[in-house]
Amino acid sequence: MVDTEIYGTDYNSLGEVTSTGDIGLATELSNVEQAIRNRLLTRLGTYPTINTDYGSEIHLCIGEKLNTSLTNKLEVYIRNCMLEEPRVYSIITNEITKVDHDTLRINLILQLVDGSEIGFTEEINTLG
């Protein structure tokens, strides 16, 4: 069983609402997945007065040609970003695969601080 105290509860960042019209919540593992996605897709330095380490540098890859160098950079940016997330203990898998001429798929398996694992997939478009 996951610990709500460790993984927390937050507003659903996708704007989902409940059947009663209330703002939806993300709790436990769904909150961790939301936090990972938000951190990964936020430019590093977006919130300098709150946390200068929040976000990632994957935006630096927009406009670059898909090749091994780009994939290697993305792996480093993703690793750096995930290791700043306090609920992530380690990265088990950090795979980047080409979907088409301008889209990459990020596949992560992360070990969380309680020892559980979570899978995460996100597609990014390198053309912006």
Handedness of CA 69, 126, 82, 46 (dihedral sign): positive
Q: Is the pLDDT of residue 2 over 60?
A: no
Distance CA 119, CA 69 (A): 25
- Looking at residue 3, its pLDDT comes to 55
What pTM did the predictor assign? 0.79
How many domains in the chain? 1
* Residues 4-51: tens digit of each pLDDT: 567 777 777 777 788 888 887 777 777 888 889 899 999 998 988 888
Tell me the residue range of the domain where 75 lies: 31-125
What CATH code is carried by the domain that includes residue 111?
3.10.450.40
* pLDDT beyond 90 at 128: no
Q: What percent of the chain has a predicted confidence (pLDDT) above 90?
A: 38
Domain contains 3: no
| Residue 17 within any structural domain of the chain | no
Tell me the pLDDT of the chain averaged across its residues.
Answer: 85
User: In this structure, what is the dihedral angle of CA atoms 116, 26, 56, 92, given to the nearest 10 degrees?
Assistant: 10
Q: How far apart are CA 82 and CA 39, in angstroms?
A: 8
pLDDT of residue 57: 95
